[in-house]
Structure 1
């Protein structure tokens, strides 16, 4: 009776690729959106890993079959995928944060909604910015950039060689700070105008107490805020171009740091 021998190395390579792609699909924008169920994400990660394994098999050799070193390698691969996804999420979070700041200043925070993607309270402007950023990401094929970065990462970081260096931590902290700066800078013009309107309403309320400033303030701030948003639509493509450029550069910087 002939024995059926299954080569072990392709299976190990598949597991390594699955760990890195699985971490990416778990955290990256669009791929990790709540509208895509966990089961669908597992299937996507499996199909992508099966597709990439034959191409990566010549590069990935001598993967240990022992359970302890293999587990450490898989954990490192999972962290690399999560790291690549985190870069994309933190960059788009800056744009969503700016929209949230604007909505809160306009008064929409009093009618907050639950973000289905994060289960956190946000404003309608935050939800709108999140949906718009996903649409722009898909239109620019930005979701493919994460897969390309995951494949290119094997050229810079072999399985089992990942280490969380101080340079990488410093870069992630700087990117988080830059995301906050992007959010504040996008919403700053509207916030400044609305703060001036708020001071004007306070002054008007002091000089004419008979007027219901609290009631008049809500429609006034919402109207002015919507007018500013409409006037800023001309600059939205430039803002998204900068965000996508930052995403591309951020992925490239991470590949050079891991």
Structure 2
């Protein structure tokens, strides 16, 4: 007969992996079938289960009330880790939105059918570019290894949601604005200079309709500057991915 204690451990391992994959950036796209997300999470649980089962710190409550609390705790902790990664990675999308507001692409915002949200052009472009770069440098492997290591740092049913968790999440959330400004600052500076130039032009030659001619000029200047900065974006993205690993580790440590 199967050991009910081992089945309980495997179920809790699966819950954390499933919650992490559902809220994380890897499988968060709406076009991915739910059966694939569940199957991929099941495969991760099968791989990481032997490491968890051999851990002496694993303590699964025997009563129904305690096991229910463990289910809620593992699901919440998985969602928390995936949410933290998604928040940090969305700083690239936020940087694209800053640029779109200055260029004028925000006026052509569209409904993203993948994420079911209103998005701008450059924001979606930079976000997908960051994801492609992340896969190229095997960042998804680091994320999966972080999930596997979370069972060692925070054992099953041992997560405690204290004030340090809220402080860490607020710190992560505020850090996304700083990262977004760092990524978009060079382009925003060039666009500000173009606005000043157009303003001087409007004062010296009032017959020129700066409002109409300014749109194509700002679009051309913004896209040209972005094309020059794309090769340098890799350095910023590596810093972003290192930030994800560091903040995930910090989030795990405050659970103890």
- Whether these two folds match at TM > 0.5 is yes
Unaligned runs of 5+ in 2: none
CA shift, 1:243, in A, is 0.9
- SS at 1:94 equivalent: helix
Residue pair 2:58, 2:156 contacting (<8 A) in 1 also: no
Alignment of 1:18 with 2:18, yes or no, is no
**What whole-Å deviation, never above 9, does each CA across 1:237-256 have from its counterpart, x for those lacking one?**
11111111111212222222
Deviation digits for residues 46-75 of structure 1, max 9, x if unmatched?
222233223322226542343221111011
- Give me the whole-angstrom Cα distance separating, in 2, the residues matched to 1:214 and 1:63: 66
Q: Does 1:142 align with 2:132?
A: no
Contact 2:19 2:75 in 1 (8 A): yes
Distance 1:42 1:221, change over 3 A: same
Number of equivalent positions? 254
TM-score normalised by L of structure 2: 0.91
Tell whether the 8 Å contact from 1:84 to 1:146 is kept in structure 2 after alignment. no
Q: Distance in 2 between matches of 1:157 and 1:230?
A: 43
Distance 2:2 2:229 in 1: 61
Name the TM-score, length of structure 1 as normaliser. 0.91
Partner in structure 2 of residue 249 of structure 1: 246
How far 1:13 moved relative to its partner?
1.0
Residue number among 35, 39, 55 corresponding to 1:39 in the alignment = 35
Q: Does 1:186 align with 2:147?
A: no
SS state of the match for residue 114, structure 1? strand
Give yes or no for the alignment of 1:230 onto 2:223: no
1:38 Cα shift? Answer: 1.9
Contact kept? 1:24, 1:146, Cα under 8 Å:
no
- Return the alpha-carbon distance in structure 1 between the equivalents of residues 251 and 113 of structure 2: 29
